[in-house]
Structure 1
Amino acid sequence: MDMMMYPRPGKVGLLARRCWPVLLCLTLFAGLAATAGAEERYSIWHDYAARFITDEGRVLDTGNHGVTHTEGQGWAMLFAEAFDDRARFDALWSWTEANLDVLGSGLLAWRYQPEQTPPVQDLNNATDGDLLIAWALHRAAYKWREPEYEHLSIRLRQAIQRHLIRDYGGYTLLLPARDGFVRDDRVTVNLSYWVMPALREFATVDPDGPWLRLLLDGERLLRNARFGDHDLPPDWLTVHQDGTLEVAQDWPPRFGFEAIRVPLYVVWAGREDEAKLDPIRAYWQSPVGGKPAAWINVVNGETAEYPLSRGGMAVRSLLLGMPGKLPEQIHPEDDYYSASLLVLSMLAAFLPEPTLSQATPNQ
């Protein structure tokens, strides 16, 4: 497969392994330097941490009453690793492990509500959050030569494989959570939960696992799940036993706040051609001189009365191949989700793809 372009063990691979932490930082910040000065390279991370992460390591969803999700913990852990903030990473993981590793399945509870007693009310997981955290732990293991982080990543990946992957309707599917999405005659999935760059890397370090099948079938679903006049994927998708696809009935039939992460992850994984994102690109290019609506109903064409957030516009710039238009700072009007999409888009544009995962963390 053309995606398997990572160096195999040997003299070249060994030399690259030893240089990996340096190369990661140099490449990331060399890219960021094209649009920001030396002091600004870290400022977006410092601003994000100051606004959305508590001293104890809990990420606040400021658009949702200050709750915490595994999604946010995973994103922030990826940010901390990318910006070489080991202390913050350790705090984020320590809080996550202490407060969300309570299910007994190896998966993590998806939501923490500080005003509730106990704060974890829903004993279910969110698969994208688990994938993000497993990926962040894996990257941190090699960045800082910390074997324990790789052990934790493997444990979480094994739990994902055990509980959340199902062959159904001719596809290898990623369940959004362990409970609640499988019926006798259908399975509901969320295509934005396919964290493509994480799946790509896991397929390299664990070639006998399900990760490559997930990646390829996620792309196949994206090619087939096109609805409405603009041929867009919906936030939530139903897969029937015979392989037919339809917009899920239990959520608004939108290309919106969920599906906006699809192009982000596909571009980050370098899989635009395989996933065929041209309809999304064409839709986002259409408002000449204006911003696209925050969501569109893929059934009747109704659109939101407000535009994409700054974070959403960052994802748009990423997909349209305009990294120079990515915002360099978080603004006061950016809530947790918008700010997260903004930083994620910057990492997708400038963070080098992990190419040295054959190394052992303690080498």
Structure 2
Amino acid sequence: MRDTSVPAPALARRRFLQALAAAGAAAALPLDAWAQACGTPWREWRTFVDRHIEPDGRVVDHLNTDLRSTSESQSYGLFFALVDNDPVLFDRILAWTRRHLCRGRADLNLPAWLWGRAADGQFRVLDPNTASDGELWIAYALLEAGRLWKRPGLVEAGRQTLALMRTAEIVELPGFGPMLLPGNRGFVQADRWTLNPSYLPLFVLRRFAAVDARGPWARLAERSVAMTRASAPVGFAPDWIAWNGKAFVVDAGKGALGSYDAIRCYLWAGMTDPADPLRRSLLDGLSGPLSMLRAQTGFAEKIDTRLGVGTGAPSPGFAAALLPYLSALGQPALAKAQLARIPTGTLNYYDRALVLFGKGWMDRRYRFSADGRLLPAWSSPCSARP
């Protein structure tokens, strides 16, 4: 039943855009764009749900023979369910994550990163190590779902996840400052720390800093940008990088490769609000994709981050991930060309996730404010629809 005290839709949408402007978001968006985002079904998300989310809330990656679920896949499911304003699905995904990845005690245990079919045919945790990118997005989804849906218990759960991460995965790199390890085991060897630049979306760290002011998040936000810039000498982010106590160096195991992890660095940079004081520095440090797209017909699947040389045809998800990046750099023609590379047919889990992030952002289904708050299209203008 419609609340007759709500203003007319056009006025509500206008007020929403004004609120976005006050929050430091990219508010100069056409009113009809927001109307389209909140007034039509999210086709790509519904396809993802149908293909990858089981009735009990498990998010499945069918590409691997173990039919795996990861803390990352669960975290992305939570985030997109929130963007789609679906608390029922959100709760199912959260319940499965807590039960199977956190041993039923998410207040005590960070999620194991990998669950799937073992060699004996049984489904269980395959690797108990953690993955901080999944935890980061889980914490963010909990905090923002609690705020937007007015559920304090979810906010508290998000705070608990942050506290566990602070204990298990935040380290002080000598000579550099605080940093988030990719997991709680296996990433520190003697005087070398292995890191993943794509695990550190700036806007998420901004939100953590606002919620947990005594934590390391504000400093980590600044250091994450410094790390990204230092690890991309010719403008291309690597999948992995190492700190040797004095400088960032090529990771001995992974090499100077930028590919399926690193593509998210450009995605997160492009989605960062223009009012963030570090956004310009971050984009300037990741100039490689723009230079490559200007110089040739397309991007590359694998890039030597020291030489800036690419090889292989990129997956369709790469095109979607570059949309916010190219938009942030004022390159509508290049963005249009990448949009044309996104197929409507069969995609794997990761490509679909990148499409939901990149194209969903371009379709204005959500934005992030300067302090990291999620601004879904449904949060105000959709509430005024009949």
TM-score of the aligned structures, taking structure 1 as reference length: 0.82
Question: How many angstroms does 1:32 deviate by?
Answer: 5.2
Distance 1:155 1:278, change over 3 A: closer
Question: How many angstroms does 1:292 deviate by?
Answer: 1.2
Q: Paired residue for 2:116?
A: 113
Which among 336, 352, 355 is matched to residue 339 of structure 1? 352
Question: How many angstroms does 1:213 deviate by?
Answer: 0.9
Distance 1:28 1:69, change over 3 A: farther
Question: In the alignment, residue 76 of structure 2 is paired with which amino acid?
Answer: W
Q: Paired residue for 2:96?
A: 95
Question: How many angstroms does 1:165 deviate by?
Answer: 0.6
CA distance in 2, matches of 1:103, 1:240: 38
Higher strand share: 2
The percentage of counterpart residues that share the same residue type is 25
1:71 aligns with 2:77: no
CA distance in 1, matches of 2:37, 2:204: 27
Q: Paired residue for 1:5?
A: none
Question: How many angstroms does 1:281 deviate by?
Answer: 3.6
Distance 1:30 1:209, change over 3 A: farther
Aligned positions of 1:120-139 closer than 5 A: 120-139=125-144
Query: Is the 1:318–1:326 Cα contact (8 Å) retained in structure 2?
Result: no
Which among 241, 247, 271 is matched to residue 245 of structure 2? 241
| C-alpha distance after superposition, 1:179-218 (max 9, x if no partner) | 0000111101000011322111111122221111111000
Distance 1:219 1:341, change over 3 A: same
Query: Is the 1:327–1:342 Cα contact (8 Å) retained in structure 2?
Result: no
1:198 aligns with 2:211: no
Question: In the alignment, residue 50 of structure 2 is paired with which amino acid?
Answer: A
CA distance in 1, matches of 2:117, 2:147: 33
Question: How many angstroms does 1:36 deviate by?
Answer: 6.8
CA distance in 1, matches of 2:185, 2:32: 41
Query: Is the 1:71–1:130 Cα contact (8 Å) retained in structure 2?
Result: yes
Question: In the alignment, residue 167 of structure 1 is paired with which amino acid?
Answer: E
Distance 1:30 1:184, change over 3 A: farther
Distance 1:356 1:295, change over 3 A: closer
Question: In the alignment, residue 140 of structure 1 is paired with which amino acid?
Answer: A
Query: Is the 1:326–1:342 Cα contact (8 Å) retained in structure 2?
Result: no
Aligned pair count? 332
1:308 aligns with 2:314: yes
1:264 aligns with 2:267: yes
Question: In the alignment, residue 280 of structure 1 is paired with which amino acid?
Answer: G
1:352 aligns with 2:359: no
Question: How many angstroms does 1:143 deviate by?
Answer: 1.7
SS at match of 1:145: coil
| C-alpha distance after superposition, 1:113-165 (max 9, x if no partner) | 13454510211100000000010111110121111111111110000111111
1:285 aligns with 2:293: yes
Question: In the alignment, residue 48 of structure 2 is paired with which amino acid?
Answer: Y
CA distance in 2, matches of 1:329, 1:219: 29
Query: Is the 2:75–2:141 Cα contact (8 Å) retained in structure 1?
Result: yes
Q: Paired residue for 2:377?
A: none
1:145 aligns with 2:150: yes
Query: Is the 1:330–1:339 Cα contact (8 Å) retained in structure 2?
Result: no
Question: How many angstroms does 1:224 deviate by?
Answer: 1.2
Q: Paired residue for 1:361?
A: none
Worse overlay, 215-224 or 26-35: 26-35
Distance 1:210 1:52, change over 3 A: same
Question: In the alignment, residue 319 of structure 1 is paired with which amino acid?
Answer: Y
1:213 aligns with 2:216: no
TM-score of the aligned structures, taking structure 2 as reference length: 0.77
Distance 1:252 1:245, change over 3 A: closer
Question: How many angstroms does 1:231 deviate by?
Answer: 3.8
SS at match of 1:198: helix
| C-alpha distance after superposition, 1:59-86 (max 9, x if no partner) | 1113323211111111111100011011
Question: How many angstroms does 1:35 deviate by?
Answer: 7.2
Distance 1:28 1:137, change over 3 A: farther
Question: How many angstroms does 1:233 deviate by?
Answer: 2.4
Query: Is the 1:255–1:297 Cα contact (8 Å) retained in structure 2?
Result: yes
Q: Paired residue for 1:54?
A: 54
Question: How many angstroms does 1:328 deviate by?
Answer: 11
Distance 1:103 1:125, change over 3 A: farther
Query: Is the 1:106–1:155 Cα contact (8 Å) retained in structure 2?
Result: no
SS at match of 2:213: coil
Question: How many angstroms does 1:106 deviate by?
Answer: 2.6
Question: How many angstroms does 1:264 deviate by?
Answer: 1.2
Structure 2, unmatched stretches of 5+, are 1-14, 374-386
